[in-house]
Structure 1
């Protein structure tokens, strides 16, 4: 082979190698970013066998305990229409009898319905329970929630359910006037509609998309733990059983994909349900901090729900408005994160 042929062969090989390298680089660039194992992560990630026998990093959730549900709040005249249910003087009803008399559903239309008994020993109102005895009862239906105000049809259903319970335990119910309760429900619903704040930020990828594992790894470093639904992570409240402080969501289909490494995510949503979270958790401050840190570490941009980039002036304005909202809710005995606020804004 002549020197010219050798030179051409070498040049051709170099060009071919460059083409292959460029193709590999382009393919790698367009792939969703993957989580990286870091020994400094203090065990947040564990290595488990993959389906093909290889090892891949996955989020270790064994360190986290998800909140359990707390007992539902007691009936309160501020938010419930309440009917007193009187027994014959000196009579008591067992918890078992009361439970057997309860209606099969605990809703009236779109509103929660509840029955409580006055414990003959402790003197406390509580949900009927086995092994207890009760000297009086009360039934209640919530006046308003995010489904709207209690209406005449729902109040009539409340009367029917309460009367059936009272008849089953040989008691007599006393109902308030429907027109008064419906008027109260409308006033409460109007207040709730004006003061119901649910904030959402979007975090959008600037360049390369993200894999579910990549999102989970970065979110876990900021305190998020897996939620009960695919594509959902939460920062739990400091008190176990209360609603989460923040919720991070991404495409659930991406989270359920067979090949998670090829599942591409280009947008995350960060949610704060103001009425559900105690002011002392500093939820908005944490929301801003989380959004900024995720956007920086994952090369994204923070926007509102209309896709407009959020500026510091915008965030400061939201913070000022929230302080006024918190104060108004507290003055009406619906402090954010309280039992009554969680019921009203649900």
Structure 2
């Protein structure tokens, strides 16, 4: 082989090695970021970052404490019909009341409920087996995020209530439909003008993220795995309350056969204002979490249109939210209260 051929072969080999090296570097650079490896603490104890499989999520959700059942009907947001029993007749058993309940607990798109007055506790409650009730009341919600109660839904409420009343031997007293429908429209108009749901997006600047990397960084801020793939939540301080914040990312990436190779380029933070108590400072925590995640994951905080957001620009949002909180409280619909959570759902 001539010197020229040897030189060309060496040059070709160097070029090939350079191409391979560049491709390897590019591949590593563009690969999704992975969670930090387990660390071995002094003394030989291994500290392992948590991971969240579907089975673990299901098991964790099943273990959550169940909040105490409380009366749901409230004259502020419900049409309520009183169901009087014959005073000379014996109290109705909870088993009989449960058997008389309609198959569905909705009238159209509005929640429908029946409560009984417990002769032992002297409290209104959903009928329960083994209890006895001296009277009942039935109600249907005036409005929710699907709109105001209409005449058709009110009529369905009357039919369901009458069937229950006939079964337990009660006499119903229905409010005037025209008045209740008008009240529903007024409440819906107010709710529509004071319903706030906020969202921030954190987008990757360079390398994408794996689901485990997202879980690890969000977990450091108090987020835990939600009931659905691609969802994490920041729990409320009070048991049984909705989460303060919801973090979401591509569910297909979370469900992939090899999630470590799934590339996530953005995650979202969501706040449903009416569902979280004001005392939880949900907006401030949402803002701080967004910037902490962006800093820790080499990302940028943007709005839904992809425009970068600065902390200063969020002060206006925070001020407007305080006004909204005040207005809801003046209407006895404080954010995070039972009636607010039902109305804004």
Q: 1:89: which partner in 2?
A: 87
Unaligned stretches of 5+ residues in structure 1? 47-57
Conserved in 1, the CA contact under 8 Å of 2:71 and 2:126?
no
Question: Any residues of structure 2 matched to 1:122-201 within 5 Å, and which?
Answer: 122-201=121-200
Q: 1:55: which partner in 2?
A: none
Q: Name the CA shift for 1:264/1:73 in 2 (closer, same or farther; >3 Å).
A: farther
Q: Equivalents in 1 of 2:108, 2:47: separation in Å?
A: 48
> Normalised by the size of structure 2, how large is the TM-score?
0.91
Q: 1:27: which partner in 2?
A: 27
Deviations 1:204-234 (A, max 9, x none): 1111111111111111111111111110000
Q: Equivalents in 2 of 1:39, 1:313: separation in Å?
A: 38
> Normalised by the size of structure 1, how large is the TM-score?
0.91
Q: 1:314: which partner in 2?
A: 313
Deviations 1:107-139 (A, max 9, x none): 110010000001111111011111111100000
* 2:29 aligned counterpart, secondary structure: helix
Q: Name the CA shift for 1:326/1:40 in 2 (closer, same or farther; >3 Å).
A: farther
Deviation, structure 1 residue 311: 2.2
Q: Equivalents in 1 of 2:2, 2:18: separation in Å?
A: 24
* 1:115 aligned counterpart, secondary structure: strand
Deviations 1:75-115 (A, max 9, x none): 11001000000000133111111111111111110010000
- How many correspondences in the alignment? 335
Conserved in 1, the CA contact under 8 Å of 2:71 and 2:125?
no
Q: 1:256: which partner in 2?
A: 255
Deviation, structure 1 residue 59: 4.3
Deviations 1:245-264 (A, max 9, x none): 10000111111111212211
Unaligned stretches of 5+ residues in structure 2? none
* 1:78 aligned counterpart, secondary structure: coil
Q: Equivalents in 2 of 1:111, 1:283: separation in Å?
A: 28
Deviation, structure 1 residue 8: 6.3
RMSD of aligned C-alpha atoms?
Answer: 2.2
Q: 1:284: which partner in 2?
A: 283
Conserved in 1, the CA contact under 8 Å of 2:275 and 2:341?
yes
Conserved in 2, the CA contact under 8 Å of 1:119 and 1:134?
yes
Q: Equivalents in 2 of 1:40, 1:212: separation in Å?
A: 23
* 2:327 aligned counterpart, secondary structure: helix
Q: Equivalents in 2 of 1:40, 1:278: separation in Å?
A: 40
Deviations 1:7-45 (A, max 9, x none): 766555444332221110011112111112243899561
Conserved in 2, the CA contact under 8 Å of 1:254 and 1:260?
yes
Q: 1:247: which partner in 2?
A: 246
